[in-house]
């Protein structure tokens, strides 16, 4: 059911994003420029607003700019596919943006004396990095890893909704969202590792060994 909802939501977003992607390409905007702009927007929302307690503004800015992750990918596909540098840049910018979001959340919660929330934010940061690493490592070994209920866009939307609700007075919403996100992120790591394990059982021994 979660997978069906995820696919349906992404299909809906694609119908919205594709016309914008075409306009930007016609205007000469590159996917890499959108990637960098999106990351800068997330940094402004997270560090400039969220970390200072302006949760509604921070959540809205981060959510809007996080959606450029769909936009730059759509633009790359329309223009003939992502380049190697484009893929590298996109992954690198994603890690910078994620670190800013959860670092800002942890800082804000620390100033509020919410130690449980800080722990959840740091766990989300670590688990989110692991979600991405497992996929990258699998693909580096020649396998696929496009599975999981909590990919990057979903993770940012969950924390964004939590921040937005807390900002309008629903005090426990952000902490609840963080613990929920930590749980689904850890579950996603397990999903991806199990998926890779099944593939690895059918393949020769990987180069480089363990480490």
CATH number for the domain that contains residue 88:
1.20.120.1760
Annotated binding site: 32-35, 69, 72-73, 77, 83, 90, 94
Which pLDDT score is estimated for 199?
92
Domain that holds residue 64: 2-200
Annotated binding site for a CDP-1,2-diacyl-sn-glycerol: 32-35, 73, 77, 83
CA–CA gap between residue 67 and residue 87 (Å, rounded): 17
Can you say whether the dihedral through the CA atoms of 93, 94, 95, 97 is positive or negative? positive
> What would you measure as the largest C-alpha separation in the chain, in angstroms?
55
Q: How many domains does the chain have?
A: 1
Provide the annotated active-site residues. Answer: 94
Please write the tens of the pLDDT for every residue from 20-53.
999 999 999 999 999 999 999 999 999 999 999 9
Share of the chain above pLDDT 90, in %: 61
Does 169 fall in a domain?
yes
CB atoms within 10 A of CB 100: 21
Tell me the pLDDT band of 122, cut-offs 50, 70 and 90: very high
Tell me the pLDDT band of 131, cut-offs 50, 70 and 90: very high
Cα 166 to chain centroid distance, Å, stands at 21
- By mean pLDDT, which of 146-155, 192-201, 202-211 is the weakest? 202-211
Which pLDDT score is estimated for 79?
85
């Amino acid at each position: 059911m979660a997978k069906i909802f995820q696919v349906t939501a992404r299909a809906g977003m694609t119908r919205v994003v594709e016309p914008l992607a075409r306009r930007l390409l016609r205007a000469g905007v590159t996917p890499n420029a959108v990637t960098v702009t999106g990351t800068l927007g997330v940094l402004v929302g997270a560090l400039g607003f969220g970390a200072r307690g302006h949760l509604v503004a921070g959540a809205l800015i981060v959510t809007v700019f996080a959606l450029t992750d769909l936009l730059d990918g759509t633009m790359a596909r329309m223009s003939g596919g992502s380049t190697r540098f484009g893929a590298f840049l996109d992954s690198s910018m994603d890690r910078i943006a994620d670190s800013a979001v959860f670092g800002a959340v942890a800082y804000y919660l620390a100033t509020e004396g919410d130690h449980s929330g800080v722990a959840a934010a740091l766990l989300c940061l670590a688990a989110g990095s692991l979600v991405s690493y497992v996929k990258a490592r699998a693909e580096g070994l020649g396998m696929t890893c496009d599975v999981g209920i909590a990919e990057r866009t979903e993770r940012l939307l969950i924390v964004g909704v939590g921040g937005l609700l807390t900002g309008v007075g629903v005090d426990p919403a952000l902490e609840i969202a963080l613990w929920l996100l930590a749980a689904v992120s850890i579950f996603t790591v397990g999903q991806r590792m199990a998926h890779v394990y099944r593939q690895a059982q059918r393949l020769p021994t990987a180069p480089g060994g363990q480490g």
